Amino acid sequence: MPDPDAPRLLVYGAYGYTGRLVVESAIDRGYDPIVAGRDARKTRGVATANDLRGRSFPVADADDHLGDVDAVLNCAGPFAETADAMVGACIDTGTHYLDITGELPVFERIRRRGPDAAGAGVTLLPGVGFDVVPTDCLATHLHDRLPGATHLSLALDADGGVSPGTLKTVLSDAGSGGAVRRDGVLRAEPVGARTRVVDFGEGLRRAVSIPWGDVSTAYHTTGIPNVDVYLALPRAGRTAVALAPYLDSVLDVDAVQRGLSWLIDRYVDGPDPATRAAGGARVWGEVRTADDRLVSRLRTPETYRFTADAATLIAGKVLDGDAPEGYQTPASAFGPDLVLEIPGVERVDLVADEVVARESSPVEGVASD
């Protein structure tokens, strides 16, 4: 029987690929989470398989289901469709809110609810998975190394495949455009507008600019006014990114979106256990001023394994009352060394003489690998 006096965590979207991993990780950490989601049959299946309590409700009705819950961990994407209603319900019921989003507009909308959350004594902490824990912590660490930094660049390189939820999010956002932070202001630009060569510690990789959540969160955490983020991709991936704007008129058609969603649910699953165990990811970060430039790197476990571990680690800290109230990022709440609490994470700092000049030099066009 669950301890009636223990803090209560509700995992929403518990039957999705990542949600199931998060539930397993929460159990491993000694929690008895309440599993929840819109689909009653799928929610019941996860609850029965893990001997947990289950609740089925749409996010629009969340107010009626959070009165006895201390924190919600939202794993139901696309978060553009679930976060706003769940955040509102959490503020109304005095429940802390966490999620695993990487969607830039979602971070911005949740940030604007920060004063309301602080007034209600609630923490709003989106992005507690691979999006954006490692990058947010690395950005803050780099800012601590070079406090006067005016420019921050981050890049990612990951093994393994993607989950159905992630693929749906990518397809729903295809062609919507990218963003960078310039002089403290979000500015639109096409996805893949810029290309860089990055040394992740295992040789040079070509990476393209993407609207990762750090374009929002890193500015909030560090105050660095110029932020851009890159993703390492093979040639085929870079070509797909370049074509994304031309897909907008097709992928915005509701019937096509519904058909793609059905195909994804039927045929796509995330990385298998062997891939999660063996895979890894690499994160690179650079800060600079007019006179100085510093680089740091992270190596992490495979992204979905990292997400499950990070999300439940942070949920535990929130349940213990360690998180500041109001809107937070992972590093603003718990500092840059938070990421080092996750098993398998390593951080390396490079000094100026060790930084290869061409590792992060802008490269025109999309050259061959």
pLDDT > 70: percent of the chain: 79
Q: Which residues contact 126 (CB under 8 A, 6 or more apart)?
A: 79, 83, 97, 98, 99, 101, 106, 107, 110
Residues present in the chain in total: 369
Residues of the chain with CATH 3.30.360.10: 133-303+342-363
Q: Which amino acid is at 319?
A: L
Distance CA 13, CA 293 (A): 42
CATH for 9-129+305-334 is: 3.40.50.720
What ranges make up the beta strands (E) of 15-116? 34-37, 54-56, 71-74, 96-99
257-293 in b/e form (b: 16+ CB < 10 A) is eeeeeeebeeebebbeeeebeebbbbbbbbbbeeeeb
What pLDDT score does 360 carry? 44
What the block records as the tokens of 128 is: 């507690």
* Range in 63-67, 213-217, 259-263, 331-335 with the lowest mean pLDDT: 259-263
Task: For 123-144, write each residue's pLDDT tens digit.
Answer: 999 999 998 999 999 999 999 9
Give the closest residue to 325 by CA, choosing from 118, 86, 100.
118
CATH for 133-303+342-363 is: 3.30.360.10
What pLDDT score does 361 carry? 46
Average pLDDT, integer, range 159-184:
63
291 φ, ψ (degrees, to nearest 5): -115, -20
Task: For 189-237, write each residue's pLDDT tens digit.
Answer: 887 788 899 999 988 999 888 888 999 999 999 999 999 999 887 665 5
pLDDT > 90: percent of the chain: 66
DSSP category for residue 291: S
pLDDT band at 274 (very low <50, low <70, confident <90, very high): confident
Compute CA distances 100 → 11, 285, 287, 303, whole Å: 11, 21, 26, 12
What the block records as the tokens of 247 is: 């897909």
200 φ, ψ (degrees, to nearest 5): -85, 5
Distance CA 294, CA 138 (A): 12
What pLDDT score does 172 carry? 52
Distance CA 144, CA 336 (A): 9
Ramachandran region, residue 189 (left: φ > 0; alpha: ψ -120 to 50; beta: rest): beta
What pLDDT score does 277 carry? 81
Average pLDDT, integer, range 317-339:
98
What pLDDT score does 369 carry? 53
3-state secondary structure of 144: helix
328-347 in b/e form (b: 16+ CB < 10 A) is bbbbbbbebebbeebeebeb
pLDDT band at 2 (very low <50, low <70, confident <90, very high): low
What pLDDT score does 240 carry? 57
Instruction: Using the predicted structure, report yes or no on whether residue 75 has a pLDDT greater than 80.
Output: yes
Helix segments in 163-288, DSSP class H: 164-173, 214-222, 235-251, 254-267, 273-278
Average pLDDT, integer, range 101-123:
96
Prior bond of 330 cis (ω within 30°): no
pLDDT band at 331 (very low <50, low <70, confident <90, very high): very high
Task: For 231-266, write each residue's pLDDT tens digit.
Answer: 887 665 566 556 555 555 555 555 545 554 555 455
